[in-house]
A and B are shown apart, each in its own frame.
Chain A
């Protein structure tokens, strides 16, 4: 694997984790502010906004929940929708498990709470590069969580006064995903997998409502990637 620039090997694990969270925090701020504004307009108090961000900690599901609350949907419908929207974390958690063998279960349970699309992508790149452990990964998750909580509450408080689209910040998470995807493209198999996943996701996202397309496209693509055939004599190259 080519050398990746994922620096700061010497600092304290918590500091390293928190420092690695910065692109995530940067991306969460505009989304969190927007969520806060929307939630506040739907009649939620700052306390209600904060407690949702704390208990749920899932961007798109929170947006959907607020719009459903606004539309007077039942609690059961909101919870069921949230479940579907967040099912993709099952795949992410499974692929992180490979790097967390035998770790303390209480710590793993705290870590699991902070698995989001963004923290998953950053943690996984670091685990892969071999410079990462549960300690900094935990710190990264909870730094991102704090940024999310604070920005959603701040949005409910005064997000209306911040101009939309300032400094291209809306592109922060997309740019982060682009780079993290580049880190994952190591061989023909991963390139094929990414190409299949991207095409399938585009088609499925247009055909079916909701975001089940993420899980479907990822499962189909990873299966296709495995089927592309493994290079002889290079077993377990990706594992651990």
Chain B
């Protein structure tokens, strides 16, 4: 592919990726947001994290179907309990990786 065409593609991709990242922190940080919006936004992290996580545990890739026997789910349960108990980010990442590696060896 010609370089100029490629550049056009990635410049366009960069722009449409940057704008949604940029507009809220640029425009919403000037005056206090209404109370209801702050309350709603306070729930967005839990909502986004759960929405990113749940399908990664129980939905297969292409074609997407529900599968409750994935090793990801099996490993996620003790990883979740470890996180709940220790509240340690580094520890959870290490334990999760170790368990997933073990699961890969055994399953």
Contact = CB atoms under 8 A, between A and B. Distances in A.
A182 B35 CA distance: 25
A29 to B, nearest CB: 12
B52 interface: yes
Interface string B1-28: 1010111111111111110111111101
Which of A5, A90, A97 neighbours the largest number of chain B CB atoms within 10 Å of its CB?
A97
A231 B26 CA distance: 31
Give the most central of A178, A184, A213, A235: most B CB within 10 Å: A178
Given A175-B95, A206-B59, A100 B45 contact: no
B33 interface: yes
A165 interface: yes
A199 B50 CA distance: 9
A214 B48 contact: yes
Interface residues of A, number: 105
A37 interface: no
A177 interface: yes
A152 B17 CA distance: 18
Interface residues of B, number: 78
A157 to B, nearest CB: 19
Given A57-B17, A206-B66, A171 B39 contact: no
Residue with the highest number of chain B CB atoms closer than 10 Å, among A87, A90, A98, A165:
A98
Given A98-B38, A198-B53, A26 B93 contact: yes
Given A55-B10, A195-B50, A198-B51, A5 B20 contact: no
A188 to B, nearest CB: 12
B65 interface: yes
A52 B13 contact: yes
B83 A178 contact: yes
A26 B6 CA distance: 29
B43 A182 contact: no
Contacts of A169: 97
Contacts of A58: 17
A58 B12 CA distance: 13
B58 A177 contact: no
B106 interface: no
B76 A178 contact: yes
B8 to A, nearest CB: 6
B86 to A, nearest CB: 7
Given A113-B22, A172-B96, A179-B93, A101 B43 contact: no
Contacts of B6: 44, 48, 69
A75 B90 CA distance: 40
A221 B17 CA distance: 24
B97 A167 contact: yes
A162 interface: no
B64 A93 contact: no
Contacts of B86: 5
Contacts of A83: 16-17, 20
Contacts of B55: 201-202, 205, 213
6 contacts: A86-B21, A90-B24, A108-B29, A176-B92, A178-B80, A193-B46
